[in-house]
Structure 1
Amino acid sequence: MEDKLKIYYRRGTEELKRDNIRAHKLTQEFNNTDVEEFGKKEDIIRKLFGSVGGNPSIEHNFHCDLGYNIHVGENFYAGYNCTILDMAEVIVGNNCMIGPNVGIYTAGHSTEPKDRNKSGYAQPIKIGNDVWIGGSCTILPGVTINDNSIIAAGSVVIKDVPSNVIMAGNPAKKLKNI
């Protein structure tokens, strides 16, 4: 299998700090918005994300690194406490549902202790159309989850997921075809 693109970044650069502060301010504003201010919440998400389809819905306590690397399609839903570490692109298709307490992490660090705190790497994550990610799942760097698949609650996805399957466990394995 071909090694997926890794984007390397240095922690603490002024540009990264600026972009991270921008995202944190917007997520703070989003998370402090009244639950009935749907239009305001959507406006903030449209400022924060790189692109957003129609009818997005994200519950409170959302967090991300940069925001502009997140691209979501039509009818995107994310439950409470969703965290997306978007040091690389996260592309989500149409009609996707993400349960509560899900972590989508493009970022990683060196396994060498002397280098671990200085820099990191990121690999894009792609999630196809009509995907359902159950509560408390973790999606790791470089993963592609293809169309119509379900990731069962509590799963840790470490490798690509084919279309039309249910995956479960740690690490996630195919449970059955849909």
Structure 2
Amino acid sequence: MNMDDFIEFCKQGNPITGEDKELHGLLIQNSYEAIRITTQLNTSSHSREEIVDIFSELTGNKVDPSFMCFPPFHTDFGKNITFGKNVFLNTGCSFQDRGGIRIGDGSMIGMNVAIATLNHGLDLETRNTTFPSPVVIGKNVWIGSNATILPGVTIGDNSVVAAGAVVTKDVPENTVVAGVPAKFMKEIK
């Protein structure tokens, strides 16, 4: 399997076991590439245009010129992130994107937000297998600083995730959630 086939395999949501040496080797190779690119991003100053170019290289997709990120930014895969227009990432975000992260137009991601898309099996037989579940963030979402979004979560359009929240379940549109685990606080009108 070549790297393009492997990236497509991952985008299709396939699990990977630690015993599968070929897939594990490709995963490590891709991760080191993501580390190389994010190290370039995080260790020197860049213009907004340069940051857009770096994220385009990282994701393998053209990132809209309206995108903005304040580094540092970290990811372990990079090739399964999709950004809409006018997306903002504040400093210190960390994305585990092999399972897929899609962020809609106008969304703002606060400082030190972590987004995870992988889980391990609970049983010992599957403990070293990673199971992907995508995270979908709608349009005009605001995720507060230090929030954590867990695998498989969808956050509806116009919603707000309070700082420090741990989102374990889907968030309906036009909703504020807060807490650990995140719970409904109020509707946005």
With the length of structure 1 as denominator, give the TM-score of the two structures.
Answer: 0.90
Runs of 4+ in 1 over 2 A off after TM superposition: 36-39, 50-54, 112-116
User: Contact between 1:106 and 1:141, CA under 8 Å: does it hold in 2?
Assistant: yes
User: Which structure has the highest helix share of the two?
Assistant: 2
Pairing 1:69-148 to 2, within 5 Å after superposition: 69-113=80-124, 115-116=126-127, 118-148=128-158
CA deviation profile, 1:144-165 (whole Å, cap 9, x unmatched):
0010000010101001010001
User: Contact between 2:84 and 2:104, CA under 8 Å: does it hold in 1?
Assistant: yes
1:33 corresponds to which of 41, 44, 53 = 44
Q: Which runs of 5+ in 1 are unaligned?
A: none
2:71 corresponds to: 60
Secondary structure of the corresponding residue to residue 17 of structure 1: helix
Aligned residues: CA RMSD: 1.6
Secondary structure of the corresponding residue to residue 91 of structure 1: strand
Percent identical residues: 37
User: Contact between 2:107 and 2:141, CA under 8 Å: does it hold in 1?
Assistant: yes
1:45 corresponds to: 55
Aligned residues: 172
Secondary structure of the corresponding residue to residue 7 of structure 1: coil
With the length of structure 2 as denominator, give the TM-score of the two structures.
Answer: 0.85
More contact order relative to length (CA 8 Å, sep ≥ 6): 1
How far apart, CA to CA, are the structure 2 residues paired with 1:29 and 1:10? 30
CA 6–68 in structure 1, closer or farther in 2 if over 3 Å, else same: closer
